[in-house]
Structures are given as C-alpha cells and as structure tokens.
Structure 1
Amino acid sequence: MIAALTAAQAMVAATARLRAAGVDDPARDARVLLAHAARIEASRVTLIAPEELSPEIAERYDQLISLRAIRVPVSHLLGEREFYGRRFRVSRDVLDPRPETETLVEAALSEPFDHVLDLGTGSGCILITLLAERTSASGLGADLSEAACLQASANAVQHQMQGRVEIVRSDWFENIEGMFDLIVSNPPYISLAEMQDLSPEVREHEPRMALTDEGDGLGAYRHIAASVPDFLMPGGRILVEIGPKQGQSVAALFQAAGLIDARVIPDLDGRDRVVVARMP
C-alpha cells in the first residue's frame, strides 16, 4: 500500500509538475490550490504541512493541479479573483480582473460622480468597486455577452449592490438610455496581430471578444468616441483602459469627438494605462 503524502510532500510534487508545465509561479499556485482543495485559508497551509492528506483532499488537489498544468487560470479554479480589496466571482465568460485596472478606478475616484456607466462591464468589478467606494452613487453596466451580464449581476448581489446597479445587454451604447457624469470602460484593445503573444492562460481561457477587436485594437475606442458625447453630461468624464502604446491615438479620438482635457495616465509600472477626457 502506498503511503499517503503529507501536505508538504504533495506541494513539492505539485510545484515540480507545474514548473515542468511552464507555469510562471508554480510554488505560489501549488500552495493556493492546496488551500482550496483542503478548504482552508492559504495562510493556514503551513499548519497542515506535516499532516497526511486525506484521500478526498489528495484527489481534489490532483485534479486542480492537472487543470493548472494545462494552463487553466488559478482564478477559474478558485471561482474568484481579488480586485481593489474585494473578491469577485469569475469564470471563463469574463475577463479576469487585473491589478493594473485599479489605475482606472483610482483615477475615477479622484473626482465626485453620481451616475456611472460601465461599458463592457464583464465581471462588474470596475462598476461595483466604484459604487462601493462612493455610496451615494448609482450605476449601469452594459455588456454584449449575456453570460457576462449574469456574472456581473451575481457580483452585484454578492456585494449588496443590486439596489444601486442595473445590468443590461448592449452592444456598446445600443441599449443605453440616460446621461452620466462618469463613463468607464476596459474594452478589448489587443490587436489581432498581438493575440499570438498572449499567455495560454489568457489566449485559451478568457473570452476572446473581451480581448481583441479582431483588428488594430482601436475599434472599440472608435465606437465609444463616436457616441459618448450623446451620453456624457457637461463636465462629465470618460476613462478607458488602454494598451501601453495606444494613449495618443485614443486621446486623439476623444479630442476629434469634441471632448477636452484628454490626457494619458500611467500605471504603477510607468506604462500608459488610462485615457481620460471631459465633456465641455
């Protein structure tokens, strides 16, 4: 009879397996997934390290490691991802919330707002975070994907925002009514030519329509710029996340649409990350 592995031994074996599969931080992922398999907080993994894993936990852990080894994202295996200090439910139907998107949130929170529109809301992480930080505001999230709308609605309920959030299926502004003093978006900005350079986790497991416009990466911004003056209140702001080389092009689109004060905001790594502009 083969002796059961201790938690520490299982993590060592899992780390080696993930490293061989090309996973970026195999030790971290092995630890997080063991905690998930054992249904404990990651901070408690050290406490169970000397203990033998039960057959049930060992089997769950092996399944999780097998999926991670074929590059299924950790967030999809956990079913959630942290963003701006809150946990959001995620799946392969929505883009994973990313730390660099917090740059957009910080910029949006730098001025007051009452009514926000989030175009391409995905998981709803941007919209729900903004409303959680501004308790007097309300918002509308729009996404072309019905599955994404359901995911955003679930996150709104999880964060007790259902009374202040409305989620609608819409192709950009198609089904949007009303005026807003803040419009935000993290649209698909990866060009078709750049898709091949993405990691397998992103390219194979995140929704393609949330990643690329199948063109030069600026298609979404052209759509948004063409219609945003009809939905943005005088003095209202629009903030969009961008790729690191798109700042000047996106700013120029907003200026051509009649918006003013267009500028590019870098993220914490110094890369261009957000374009903000204002309605006169």
Structure 2
Amino acid sequence: MNASVAPRSVESLFRDARRRLADVGIETADLDTSLLLEHATGLTVLDRITDANRIVLPDAIERFETSVERRLRREPVHRIIGEREFYGLPMKLNPSTLVPRPDTETLVDLVLPFVTDTAARNGTCRILDLGTGTGAIALALLSCVPQAVAVGADVSREALEAADANAAACGLADRFETVWSDWFEAITGSFDLIVSNPPYIPSADIAELDTDVRDHDPLPALDGGHDGLSAYRLLASQAGSFLTESGALGVEIGHDQKLPVTNLFRSSGFRQTGERKDYSGHDRTLFFVK
C-alpha cells in the first residue's frame, strides 16, 4: 500500500475523474469513468450509488489514477481495460486487434440465420473469418450455433494469439482454429460461409479519424486503399473459389459503400440477398450468395 496516497470515497474519485475527462472534451466522460473505476477497484455503478462513501484504498486509487491519465491522453477506454464485450462474450485485446464495436454485432445478426439453417440441414456449418482480429465475429457465431466450426485467419500473428486466447476463455477452442494468412493466401478447403470486417477507410481519410482510433487502432485494419475498396475487390474476386456450391458471404462496410461493394460482388457472380443498418441507421453489413 502506498502511504503517500490518502484513502478517498468512491464518489469523490468518480466526480473528480469525470470532471477532468469532460474538461478535455471527452463526450463519454461519465461512462468512461464508471468503466475505469470498476476496472481499478472492482466497484460497480450500483456499489457507487448505494454506498457513495465507501473508502477506496491507496493501491486501487493509484490504479484508477493511472488509467484516467491514459484516457486523458485519448487512449480508448477499452484498450486501457484490455478487453471489450462482444455479443455477450469477453474479448481480450492487444495492439494488433481492433476493439470490437457494437456496430459489428449487426454482421453476426445478419449471417446467424444462415449459419443456423446450414447447421440444421448439414449437421455443421464451416465458417471462415478473414481478418479475424480478436476472433469476435467467428466466436460469437460459434457461441450461438453449437454445430458450427470456424477458421479465423489474420496476417498478424499477434492478433491470432488474441483470437486463440479468446476462444479458450469462451470455451470454444475445440471448434475454432487460427491460420496465419494474408487474406486467402494460406487458406485451403471450402466453407459454407465467409465473413469479414475488412479495412474500408480510404487512405487519405486516415489522418482525419478521431485520435482514439487513428493513434491506437492498427493501421492495416483500417486502411482500405485509395478508395477504401481494396479488400472488397480481393474478396469479390477470390471468395467464390473457397465457398461451397450453396455458400454465402457477409461483410461489414463503410456507411457510404453499399452500392460500390454490391457492384463489385455482382460483377463476380454474387447476388446480394440481405443487409443490416448499424445502431445509428447507417448501412453497415451486406450478405451475398453465390
């Protein structure tokens, strides 16, 4: 215990940190402070409300203050915590993974009926998650469909380490394997479903992103080439060779990319049969069949 740090009440810690975050323009100061406080002290929002005068000891205060200082420097709160929940599953992060976003859950929602139906019909559904990162999309699908199996591919070995660890932590390692691959380069076999949240931000727009994203998310997972469509061209031209005859493909897209992405897949023999908007009402995911 650090005797130089005086014990304080949980409410005073919360109020002070929230003010400091708000003062530098962090719009989610209230939520961020709550998350960081719970991570550092184990005290939930309910604990703080029902026992505002509870004393926090110096060691926990130091952990909390360190995390607040990191947030003041615009490090994303979930990177500070080291994980984020996705589709009800805890996803550990590392510097080579994107932070799974709630909007990406719409991709799981979009393809889940296909996975369920395919598994019921064939006894299984074989899924390929390209650019798997934390493994979030594939693992969410596996958690919902016990007969499904998945391969998570990524060009980053560090990302694959996170995906493997998350699969183990979620009890899904027996149905999930990882492959180090630059897109389809090291992929073999055929799949009922290919899913991907590829990089789709135009290269010139990277500099304009929020500091939280630009300075902390891995660039290869963001940069979609000069027009943001490089990954979709590759997927459209090569995915068909790795799909079963009745296979399908689901992708996340940028909010203004529905038409050009749809046209790319149509020109490669795919038919768009489904789509989902994100929680802000923007076009976010597309579903194609061969």
Which of 25, 28, 35 matches 1:25?
28
Pairing 1:169–2:172 present: no
Structure 1 residues 240 and 53: alpha-carbon distance in aligned structure 2, compared to 1, 3 A threshold: same
Match of 1:127 in 2: 138
**Corresponding residue for 1:180?**
191
Which one of 9, 31, 54 corresponds to residue 6 of structure 1? 9
Structure 2 matches for 1:1-280, cutoff 5 A? Answer: 4-111=7-114, 112-113=117-118, 114-279=125-290
Paired residues in the alignment total 279
Instruction: Report the TM-score when normalising by structure 2.
Output: 0.91
CA contact (8 A) 2:151 2:176 kept: yes
Q: What code does the residue aligned with 1:188 have?
A: P
Shift of 1:22: 2.0
Give the partner amino acid of 2:284.
R
Whole-angstrom distance in 2 between the partners of 1:237 and 1:264: 13
Question: In 2, Cα distance between the equivalents of 1:25 and 1:143?
Answer: 31
AA at the equivalent of 2:208: D
Q: 1:64 to 1:48 in 2, by over 3 A?
A: farther
Give the residue type in structure 2 aligned to 1:158: A
Further displaced range: 195-204 or 234-243: 195-204
Question: For 1:216 and 1:82, how far apart are their aligned partners in 2?
Answer: 31
The answer to whether the Cα contact below 8 Å between 1:35 and 1:45 also exists between their aligned partners in 2 is no
Q: Which amino acid aligns with 1:60?
A: R
What SS is found at the alignment partner of 1:150?
Answer: helix
* 3-state SS, counterpart of residue 20 of structure 2: helix
Q: Secondary structure at the match of 1:27?
A: helix
Cα distance in 1 for partners of 2:158, 2:50 equals 39
Return the letter of the residue paired with 1:56: D
The CA deviation at 1:40 is: 3.5
- The whole-number CA distance in structure 2 between the counterparts of 1:272 and 1:158 is 32
Shift of 1:93: 1.7
Distance 1:43 1:212 in 2: 40
Gaps of 5+ in 2: 119-124
Q: Which range moved further: 170-179 or 19-28? A: 19-28
Q: 1:147 to 1:51 in 2, by over 3 A?
A: same
**1:62, 1:233 → 2: CA distance?**
53
TM-score normalised by structure 1 residue count: 0.95
Q: Do 1:31 and 1:45's aligned partners in 2 also have CA atoms closer than 8 Å?
A: no
Counterpart contact for 2:195–2:250, Cα < 8 Å:
yes
Q: Are residues 18 and 268 of structure 1, via their aligned partners in 2, closer, same or farther at CA, if it must alter by over 3 Å?
A: closer
For 1:24-68, what per-residue CA distance to the aligned partner results, in whole angstroms no more than 9, with x for missing partners?
211221122111111234432334421232111111111010001
Give, in whole Å, the separation in 2 of the partners of 1:179 and 1:42.
47
| 1:82 CA drift (Å) | 1.0
Any conservation in 2 of the 1:94–1:148 contact (CA below 8 Å)? yes
Query: What letter is aligned with 1:104?
Result: L
**Coordinate RMSD, CA, aligned:** 1.6
CA contact (8 A) 1:265 1:274 kept: yes
SS of the residue corresponding to residue 212 of structure 1 reads coil
1:187 Cα deviation after fit: 0.2
Deviation, 1:261, is 3.5
Q: Which segments of 5 or more consecutive residues in structure 1 lack a partner in the other structure?
A: none
- SS of residue matched to 1:82: strand
Contact 1:251/1:264 (<8 A) preserved: no
Give 1:4 shift. 3.8
Given that 2:34 and 2:44 are in contact with CA atoms closer than 8 Å, whether structure 1 keeps it comes out as no
How many percent of aligned residue pairs carry the same amino acid? 38
